[in-house]
Copies of this chain bind each other. A is one copy, B any other.
Amino acid sequence: MSRADLAKSSCSLSRAVERVGDPWTLMILRESFLGTRRFEDFQRQTGASPHLLSQRLKQMCQDEILRKRLYCDHPQRFEYVLTEKGRDLWPMIMALRAWGDKWLGRPYSVRLTHKGCGAEMEPQLCCPDCGEPIGARDVAADIGPDLQFERNRLRT
C-alpha cells in the first residue's frame, strides 16, 4: 500500500496516518501545542532543515491543520497557528506523550493541570456513557462493511 492508497482507504486510521504519521509533522504539532508559531522557532526546536520545515508547514496549511497568519506588515512576516482541526490532534499528542512517560524512562517532561478542577493529572480515556476508564481490552471493535470489503480484497 502506497501513501496514496492510505489516503484513499476506508479506514479512518489509515487516512489519519497518511496525514500526520511522520516524525516531522508530529514534532511540529508538539511545538504548536507548546505555543511555537514562527518559522525560526520551529526550526530551532525541531532541528528540521529550512527546506523540509517549509515543505511540512505548507502541507499542514493545505491540510488545514495549521493556518498562516500575518503578524508583521513591513516586511511581511507570517506565523503558523493551529486550526480547530489541528487542535483536535491534541488527544493523539497526549497519548504518545503518556506512552513515552510510562515506557521510555525519565518521566515528567511536561506536567499537566486540569484548569477546571485544579488537579495535576494525566488525561485518561473514558467511556463517555458510563464514565469508566477504558483500555484496549475493554472495547469490542466491529469493522464496518467498506473496510471489511477492502480487507477481504487485500486478503485474496
Interface residues of A in 103-156 (CB under 8 A from B): 103-117, 119, 121-144, 146-147, 151, 154-155
Q: Which residue of B lies closest to A103 (CB)?
A: B85
Per the bound structure, the CA–CA distance linking A104 and B10 in Å amounts to 10
Q: Judge whether A13 and B129 touch: CB under 8 Å.
A: no
Contacts of A20 in B (CB 8 A): 96, 99
Contact yes or no, B128 A133, CB < 8 A: yes
A35's nearest neighbour on chain B, judged by CB, is B141
Asked if A108 contacts B144 (CB within 8 A), the reply is yes
A1-53 with Cβ < 8 A to chain B: 1-3, 5-6, 10-23, 26-27, 30, 33-34, 41, 44-48
| B141, A110: Cβ atoms closer than 8 Å | yes
**Alpha-carbon separation in the docked complex, A127 to B94 (Å):** 12
Q: Which of A5, A15, A96, A108 neighbours the largest number of chain B CB atoms within 10 Å of its CB?
A: A96
Chain B: which residue is nearest A146 at the CB level? B109
Residues of B contacting A138 in the complex (Cβ-Cβ under 8 angstroms): 114-116
A34 to B147, CA, bound (A): 12
Is A106 a contact partner of B10 (Cβ separation < 8 A)? yes
Taking the nearest CB of chain B, how far is it from the CB of A101, in angstroms?
4
Instruction: Using known A-B contacts A23-B22, A139-B114, determine if residue A95 contacts B95 with beta carbons closer than 8 Å.
Output: yes
Cα separation A137 to B116 with both chains bound (whole Å): 10
